[in-house]
Chains A and B, each alone.
Chain A
């Protein structure tokens, strides 16, 4: 994976990303209003072959790194945060398969299909009775004769479950396993029944269409990723999730500041010589944006640095860094959108103004809840009992 240097030039979004983002932007209002899957953006992403961006070239993919995926998610989120978040959630699953699936024949074949057919992957970690405690499962992969398994999960939130070609599901390793001894397995559309158990009429991120399902899958045991989910989570899913989600939130913040800046400039043109009253708030929001960008790029660089070292990836210091990225980025995006709203005033508060920040504000409010910040802060507090900061400037 290509390294991102925190102080170097920003990674250029991969080819085609700007065009796809423009498509996402054109349909963002209807996606939000109707709480529907952004079909147009995802047709364009498939066309640009960006769903297989992180699959190695040997498997027919784009051979891109995490920084490339982050750049696409960020570009999409500026125009349609739901599209950006769906893209991020898909690439989180891809990263797990690329980093932990290449040792197994079934997963190598699946990576080829993923790139060739531009498959869309969803995730079912959240479970009824367990909520956002993703390192615990109630459901289990049951043994069936002939190397098969059956799995039933009360998945209270699966984003774009109905549109996905495969869903990566976490479950206990066997019927006798404790809740923390989990595996993760991709189940294909034809192997899975989804029965809706809850709707998705929410404040924001409406286009992710994250309805609840009773998921029943019957598939082959060879589809279970060989490494325990605990390792996959620590080495890949947790850091990649927090980096890609933060990239989406950074995209929301970036567009909010851009809209506030456009408003302030328009005001300044009307009265040259008198700085518009909201200009100070714009300066404040810009400072926050700068710090948030540094946070995301720093975390990307830190991940790239230790990406191939399981011991460093499972050390408390790394987990603390990735957890604090999530909680801090989630709070920062809300603060920035709030400041941008103060800069734009009623022009930002209106739904029908070119400077509107209403959707930004609604979408941004999902950030602290998406794996609740309080839960993550609790985990971080526990890790801090073990972690000893070495006090050096560069970690």
Chain B
């Protein structure tokens, strides 16, 4: 995940210095960037984000993204903690 973020150029900060809980928006993630991040995750993990996961909170930290992707890989539509 960090490699993907680091390679993307969507953050203003070095992704390797971020903790799992750090706010990615404060690190420079824009809404434009989060759409591209979503597309890259879909390609990398072979998943598709349903509309109900496409909200600001889903991409707010590495931990939040990891939870969403894990939920999608488990086949739970909406991922863990969706509601």
A180-B30, A311-B52, A314-B55 given; 16 more Cβ-contact pairs under 8 Å: A135-B30, A178-B27, A178-B28, A179-B28, A181-B25, A181-B27, A231-B56, A234-B31, A310-B55, A316-B54, A319-B31, A382-B32, A385-B39, A386-B39, A388-B51, A390-B51
Residues of B close to A179: CB separation below 8 A: 12, 28
In order of increasing CB-CB distance, the 10 nearest A-B pairs are: A178-B28, A178-B12, A314-B56, A311-B55, A180-B30, A386-B35, A314-B55, A181-B26, A316-B54, A386-B54
B38 within 8 A of A: yes
- Complex: how many Å from CA A390 to CA B51? 9
Contact A386 B49 (CB under 8 A): yes
Question: Residue on B with the closest CB to A390?
Answer: B51
A-side residues, CB < 8 A to B, are 135, 173, 177-181, 228, 230-231, 234, 310-312, 314-317, 319, 379, 382-383, 385-388, 390
A118 to chain B, nearest CB (A): 35
Distance of A177 Cα from B30 Cα, bound (Å):
13
| Contact among A180, A315, A386 for B29, CB-based, below 8 A | A180
Closest residue of A by beta carbon distance from B13: A178
Q: How far is the CB of B65 from chain A (nearest CB, A)?
A: 14
Q: In the assembled complex, which residues on chain A have CB atoms less than 8 Å from the CB atom of B44? A: none
Q: Give B37 Cβ to nearest chain A Cβ, in Å.
A: 10
A336 to chain B, nearest CB (A): 32
Which residue of A has the minimal Cβ distance to B12?
A178
Name B56's contact: one of A230, A382, A387 (CB within 8 Å).
A230
User: From B51, which residue of chain A is reached at the shortest CB distance?
Assistant: A388
Bound-complex Cα distance A319 to B13 (A): 27
Residues of A within 8 A of B50 (CB): 388
* Most B-side CB within 10 Å, residue of A310, A319, A382, A386: A386
- Asked if residues A315 and B35 are in contact (CB atoms below 8 Å), the reply is no
Instruction: List chain A residues, Cβ under 8 A from B32.
Output: 379, 382
Q: List 14 A-B contacts (CB under 8 A).
A: A178-B28, A181-B26, A314-B55, A314-B57, A315-B51, A315-B54, A315-B55, A382-B35, A383-B31, A383-B35, A385-B35, A385-B36, A386-B54, A390-B51
Binding site for A on B (CB under 8 A): 11-13, 25-32, 35-36, 38-39, 49-52, 54-57
* A379 proximity list for chain B (CB < 8 A): 32
Q: Could you tell me the distance between the alpha carbons of A76 and B26 in the complex, rounded to whole angstroms? A: 40
A228-B54 Cα distance, complex, nearest whole Å: 19
User: Are A311's CB and B57's CB within 8 A?
Assistant: yes
What residues of chain B lie closer than 8 Å to A385, measured between beta carbons?
Answer: 35-36, 39
Question: Which residues of chain A are near B54, meaning CB under 8 Å?
Answer: 315-316, 386-387
B78 to chain A, nearest CB (A): 11
In this complex, the member of B36, B50, B55 whose beta carbon has the largest number of chain A beta carbons within 10 angstroms is B55
In this complex, the member of A173, A181, A385 whose beta carbon has the largest number of chain B beta carbons within 10 angstroms is A181
A180, B25: Cβ atoms closer than 8 Å: yes
Give Cα distance in the complex from A228 to B28, angstroms: 13
Q: How far is the CA of A385 from the CA of B36 in the complex (A)?
A: 8
Do A317 and B39 have beta carbons less than 8 Å apart? Answer: no
